[in-house]
Chain A
Amino acid sequence: MKYFEFTNPTKLCSGKGALDNLAYELEILGAVRPMLLSDAMLEKIGSLKLVVDALGDVQIGRIFTDIPRDSSVETVNRIAKEYREYGCDALVALGGGSVLDTAKGVRLLIAQDTDDLLKLMGCECIPKGKDVPFIAIPTTAGTGSEATPVAVIKNPELHIKMEYISQQVMPDTAVLDPRLTTTLPPRITASTGMDTLCHAIEAYTCMQKNPVSDAYAVAAVRLVRQNLLRAVRFGGSKEARAAMANASFLAGAAFGNSMVGVVHAIGHALGGVCQIPHGDAMNILLPAGMLFNKKVCRETYGELLLYLAGPEVYTATPARERADRAIKEVIRLRKKLHLLTGLPTTLQEAGADPAKFPEVAHAALNDGAVIVNPRQVTYDAVMRILEVCYGE
């Protein structure tokens, strides 16, 4: 019997009116003066106001919206300093992956009572510190950051991406309110949705997978199949939006425990070297990554066909063909999203410079996701995947 660990201490508040209970959720966490983190865009489109209104009489210690697209150590330090100066006692983070990762970094600094994030880098090495109530309110359905023990924060001075894998960064509560995602444009909905699908598929096939993470992963895949195209076509559908938000949380909880593999390793590197948006990279790389891993994942991909295509297709497909059919289903979904939104399906369309591929390959090999990929990832293999995905 293989040993495994699973952790997901985050309380989930999801669905219609989820945001309305925000003040209550803070109260039961013992917070009276939260710091609110978000970004300028969410302030502009009114999402931040929704949260401020939901807080009602709660005294907000400080609202900080100057968070850049990529979390950086400088921003985290600045926010932690202000948190202390303004006498805040909790964090409420409203935004995408960048805002949530920034909040995770701030929580670490405050909880561990330090001003140097460098000291805390690593994996499962941070002890429980001071209690800092933390509520995450995602505004995209993709990163799943509200359910993961992972935070990535850039250190431009040292030219490194500081990675933290620790239970201590997980929010106490995640609030998924469809009102916050109905305004997402179709293209971003498609891109972030494919990120969710990629989290779920990689979670289901990585070496750290376990029966509990599997349950979360397949539930996420099913929700994506049933709702992603609907959320893209009918952005105002609160049902589709809520389902995709749930899928993102489930996939986050799955990969937060089983980790992700080669698709994410290359995707992270493409983001760093070629500035390809993460969701777009996942959409481009996923089928090629699956083809690469098929040699050792034939059975698990075959199992995923049930959730990717439904019971009729699954039963009608001979067992030996299910893995290939599962990959075809992903390609088919990708094609539809491309037609609907123009989401790029090749690195060429996404504007990647092939001259930078060797740099991308080196960066990908040093990504932590490589270690749990089910098949050995080599420089040559990454280069081959990149060439195939370039699309010539």
Chain B
Amino acid sequence: MKKEILNRVNGLVLEVLFRSFRVLYRRDSRVRDEIAGWEDGLTLRLVCGPGGASLAVCKDEKNGVRRLRRGQRAQITMRFKSVEGAFRVLSGQIGVAGAYAAHLFTLEGDIYQTMSFVRCVDYLEAYLFPPFWSRRILKELPEKQVSPLEVYARILLENKC
């Protein structure tokens, strides 16, 4: 039962993550620059533990990222070893660097290309969590180029596809 709840929360946060990628691609120059540097058509998948929620995206010129078609193979897959581990990251208990150091996930694909994705997630987390929280999970708090409230509002209004 507990796992099922965590799975649902993970799925929900992945949706927020996906939308914030698209919003910040348009609103934050650093996220835009990072994504622009990705190889054309780069595909990434985040899997939240065995049988857990997942998010698969592809680089998109217009919106930064778009969803990957079901069953399409991703070039980079970050796979959390457990649903619980994924929850710790997605609920902001631990940052991506901390999760890597704690062996919470495995990575299939090019480590060099993944580093840019990790930097993007750091920027996203700085917007999504309040500063006192972000400071606990990020090594340094990046400056915000836009108000977090605006980001939240745009996430709510963001097109799902």
Contacts and interface: CB of A to CB of B under 8 A. Distances in A.
A50 interface: no
A41 B103 CA distance: 39
Interface residues of B, number: 24
| Residue of B110, B118, B119, B138 most packed against chain A (CB within 10 A) | B110
Nearest to B119: A365
Contacts of A124: 103, 106-107
B111 A121 contact: yes
B112 interface: yes
A160 B139 contact: no
Contacts of A372: 97, 100-101
A163 B101 contact: no
A375 B140 CA distance: 8
A208 interface: yes
Given A365-B115, A368-B112, A207 B101 contact: yes
Contacts of A2: 102
Given A122-B107, A123-B107, A125-B79, A371 B100 contact: yes
Contacts of B41: none
B116 interface: yes
A389 interface: no
The 4 closest A-B pairs by CB, nearest first: A376-B140, A376-B139, A208-B101, A123-B107
Interface of A: 2-5, 121-125, 160-163, 165, 206-208, 259, 296, 365-368, 370-372, 374-376
27 contacts: A2-B102, A4-B102, A121-B109, A121-B111, A122-B109, A123-B107, A123-B111, A160-B110, A161-B112, A163-B111, A165-B111, A206-B101, A207-B97, A207-B98, A207-B101, A208-B101, A365-B119, A366-B113, A366-B115, A368-B111, A368-B112, A368-B115, A372-B97, A372-B100, A375-B140, A376-B138, A376-B139
